[in-house]
Amino acid sequence: MKTIGLIGGMSWESTAVYYELLNRMVRERLGGLHSAKLLLWSFDFAQIEAYQATGNWASATAAMVEAARSIEAGGADCVVICTNTMHKMADDVQNAVGIPLVHIADTTAAAIKSAGVSQPLLLATAYTMEQDFYKGRLKQLHGIDVMVPDETGRSTVHGIIYEELCQGVISARSKTRYLDVIGRARNAGADSIIFGCTEIGLLISQADFDIPAFDTTELHAAAAIDFAMS
């Protein structure tokens, strides 16, 4: 089994989900006492969030590159960035190391294509919904056009991620607000939902919908295990 290098702590709430998923998936495949071989670099998220909020993407990139190089030096065989938003600098991270990066958008695209849907709604941080690093990759490499909520919806989704989910707060009221955002998008033609932030699966799940919902955390973890066991 290859060693998976995780860049996490963004937030640790979702990184903990990655850790559980990766180990559970290995046990399901191999049985017994088997678990995943992992190295974890975990950030103080307050530092990263400050870079995001001020648009200091150069410092954020430098921090991510340092983390990737550290886990490579520690013996990791691949890099897994445990957040959608910080895939903004995925190309810089990949270029800085000699081991492959398992890209969360590529694993999500494969699931979307397999489901045969054509108008997925992207729920994510404002950075991921509004910038092109994620949507553009889905379009350019995979031919997938995504919808995003309107401005009010984007503000709702983003605020709940940072003010609640990243701080371990799970609120029934916030779930209702998410379902309202999704309902409006469905009325506008959305035929599926991308949980494009790794914390969103803490609040809503496939069980809440009668259309496909793509939990990027689960998909990413499964792709990392596929790599590790190949």
Distance separating alpha carbons of residues 135 and 204, to the nearest angstrom: 22
Catalytic-residue membership of 83:
yes
Distance separating alpha carbons of residues 197 and 177, to the nearest angstrom: 16
Catalytic-residue membership of 82:
no
**CA torsion, points 40, 215, 53, 135, in degrees to nearest 10?**
120
- Catalytic pick among 125, 128, 197, 216: 197
Distance separating alpha carbons of residues 171 and 61, to the nearest angstrom: 32
- Catalytic pick among 15, 61, 83, 198: 83
Radius of gyration of the CA atoms of the chain, in A: 17
Return the active site residues: 83, 197
